Structure 1
Amino acid sequence: MSNLRNFDLNLLLAFDVLMQERNVTRAAERMFVTQSAMSHTLHRLRQQLDDPLLVKTPSGMQPTDRSLALVAPVRSLLLEMERLLEPPQAFDPTTSQRRFTIAATDYMEFLLLPEFSRLIEQTAPGVDIHIKRTESVFPVTPLENGSLDVVLGFASVLEPPAQLNCEHLFVDQMACVVRKDHPKIRHAPTLEEYLAAGHMLISRTGSQVGVIDEKLAELGLERRINLIVPHFLSAPLIVAETDMILSLPYRLAAQFRRLVALKILPVPLELPNYDLAMIWHPLREKDPAHCWLREQIMAIGRNIDATAIAL
């Protein structure tokens, strides 16, 4: 490796041309330099390789055994370097059999996957998608080593490191749902009505404190949480059969309302909107396949963002 550090790799291209032409003047013309500059380059090559390389004879300049032995390896190396420096091939989703791995919350799965799966099935039938759950610790290493392509979720919850790329997908805001024939809550609840009711909480970690509870605590208030579940799947069915209130992002509530008889109502608290984002590592920024994946996700995000939140 010490020899490589001391060798000027730019000389290899000149060596290749000199061996093809075996003439300094013609080699200079091909390299677009002066004959004097090419003679100087040949001198440097001789010094670095400790060999005459080309020797003048009555029939012209002839290569030494050392230079002949280097011709094929140098040509192979230059061709490989040329291949490496070529722009990456365009990604063709119709023929690709690539597998993408995405970390996402079940919220993102619920909103994105139906449309995303339909799009993949129609436009990229050979592409496989693997969805993994997001972890409490942000997966920087999997993004860096390529075992994970993108992370999807609430930007404020994920808190990705600053060195990663983050793209806004859409916004959401907190709402609440009750069964359609709820005996007490027929319209937007007051704060008193909201606190008087029993509540259901979706908590993946099992925590009894959510963003609403943190806001209530600031006001010196609290609500009673009757039921905590770790997943979204059972939530709408439970709410439809009880008098509990479930507070959750509006866009998810709208999907629940399509499944069971629920009413979507505003939460009687001033809460910030949610920013839903996609995070990826800059190492994959220019990869054509990765660019295609991100564009599909962003297109779905734009469609979701265009759907108004009606509370």
Structure 2
Amino acid sequence: MNVFRHFDLNLLRVFMTLMHERHVTRAAEKLHLSQPAISHALKRLREALDDPLLVRTDQGMQPTPRALALLPVVQQALAMLQEGLAPPATFLPESSTRRFTLATTDYFEEVMYPTFLSQLLTYAPGISFSIELITPEVLSEGLEQRQIDMVVGLDTQIELPGGVLKAPWMQEELVCLAALNNTHIGDSLTILQFADALHVELADISGLGPSNIDNCLVQHGLTRRVISKNLNYIAAARVVALTGAIMTLPRQMAQRFISMLPVRLVEPPKELPALNMTLIQHGLYANEPSTVWLHQQLTAFAKAFSEQA
């Protein structure tokens, strides 16, 4: 028999208060309800439980054996509901030993992550991070199964599976890199010159389709020839240094290579879009306190980083 089918669970609070006060008027005051409302609720309780529950005696209203038997059961049930419905425990970074797993771009890991981690460790010394590659499995399964806490740095154009949340994070200007002895490339490029050049780019290990650069070229009826796809920026930059090719990358990453390799910066076509990076997480865990904290820290870091750039 399904007892909940005809039973209003709101009556349990009335039952508890009546058992404590054993007086309809005082119970009404305690619950901030009218005396008729409490009388009506007691009538419904009696009908639902087929028992008078409280009976008027010379010593006032007294509980029946059925009411006394129900009391500890209702107390425990309400206590469990109170605990279950309470807000989740606050995340305390200063004492946490939580390990977060981020799936990131090569750019974030190289340029931003070391500073981000060192700043967090000053007030959250027990936390740690694992860095993973962004793959299709990360977006389709890793986030949902919480193998990955957050994906950092993917471009805004990316199509995402259902249940996955994407928020704007940081914008970075794109530039081109060319070898110092590359006389075919000037200090800046038109979009036609850009399309005619040989290119080096990072391999699309995320499996998420054409880049914003290729989409931009297609919109202008152009394509480019990519002579090398590399897994990381440093390898790609070394190819650029030894060939007549160019590569397109975030300005702050490109500037790192100027002192390392015989390469120089080249201004890209004005039509080329900026790199608009995102924070991606799964909706299942978006309100979990440690995830909320991590999202806040990454957002604050991005703001400070952009202001200093």
Of 275-284 and 220-229, more deviation after overlay is shown by 220-229
SS for the counterpart of 1:279 is strand
For 1:60-75, list aligned pairs within 5 A: 60-75=60-75
Cα 1:141–1:67 shift into 2, 3 Å: farther
Q: TM-score, normalised by structure 2?
A: 0.82
Task: Give, in whole Å, the separation in 1 of the partners of 2:210 and 2:157.
Answer: 14
Instruction: State the shift of 1:76 in Å.
Output: 1.7
The 1-side partners of 2:158 and 2:197 are apart by 31
Q: Is the 8 A contact 2:191 2:271 kept in 1?
A: no
Letter in 1 for 2:300: A
Match of 2:49?
49
Distance 1:10 1:35 in 2: 16
Assess if the C-alpha contact under 8 Å between 2:156 and 2:168 holds in 1.
no
Q: Give the count of matched residue pairs.
A: 308
For residues 19-58 of structure 1, the aligned pairs below 5 Å read 19-58=19-58
Greater Cα offset, 83-92 or 212-221: 212-221
Unmatched 5+ residue regions in structure 2?
A: none
Distance 1:13 1:277 in 2: 46
Answer yes or no: is the 8 Å Cα contact 2:171–2:274 preserved in 1.
Answer: yes
Structure-2 residue corresponding to 1:5: 5
SS at match of 1:188: coil
Q: Identify if the C-alpha distance between structure 1 residues 80 and 220 changes in structure 2 by more than 3 Å, giving closer, same or farther.
A: closer
Contact 2:174 2:250 in 1 (8 A): yes
Q: CA deviation at 1:306?
A: 2.7
The alignment yields a C-alpha RMSD, in angstroms, of 3.4
Return the letter of the residue paired with 2:296: E
Question: Contact between 1:206 and 1:228, CA under 8 Å: does it hold in 2?
Answer: no
How far off its partner does 1:113 sit?
Answer: 1.2
Alignment partner, residue 245 of structure 1: 246
Q: 1:288 & 1:119 partners in 2: Cα distance?
A: 20
Q: Which residue of 2 aligns with 1:125?
A: 125
Which segment drifts farther, 198-207 or 224-233? 198-207
Matches within 5 A, 1:1-311: 2-136=2-136, 139=139, 142-144=142-144, 146-160=146-160, 165-182=165-182, 185=185, 187-188=187-188, 198-205=198-205, 211-213=212-214, 215-216=216-217, 223-257=224-258, 259-268=260-269, 270-307=271-308
Task: Evaluate the alpha carbon distance shift between residue 210 and residue 51 of structure 1 in structure 2; reply closer, same or farther with a 3 A threshold.
Answer: closer
User: Structure 1 residues 196 and 40, CA, compared in 2 at 3 Å: closer, same or farther?
Assistant: closer
CA drift of 1:47 comes to 1.1
Which stretches in structure 1 are left out of the alignment for 5+ residues? none
Query: How high is the sequence identity, in percent, across the aligned residues?
Result: 35
**TM superposition shift of 1:216:** 4.8
Kept in 2, the 8 Å contact 1:206–1:230? The answer is no
What's the TM-score, normalizing by structure 1? 0.81
Following TM superposition, by how much is the alpha carbon of 1:141 offset from its aligned partner in structure 2, in angstroms? 5.6
Q: Compute the displacement of 1:296 (Å).
A: 1.0
User: What is the Cα deviation at residue 8 of structure 1?
Assistant: 0.7
Distance, in Å, in 2 between the alignment partners of 1:74 and 1:103 is 47
Deviation at 1:9, TM superposition (A): 0.9
Within 2, Cα distance between the matches of 1:209 and 1:89? Answer: 42
Bigger drift between 6-15 and 114-123 goes to 114-123
Moved more, 67-76 or 171-180: 171-180
Cα distance change of structure 1 residues 206 and 94 upon mapping to structure 2, 3 Å threshold: closer
Change in 2 beyond 3 A, CA 1:41/1:90: same
Alpha-carbon distance in structure 1 between the residues aligned to 2:6 and 2:140:
37
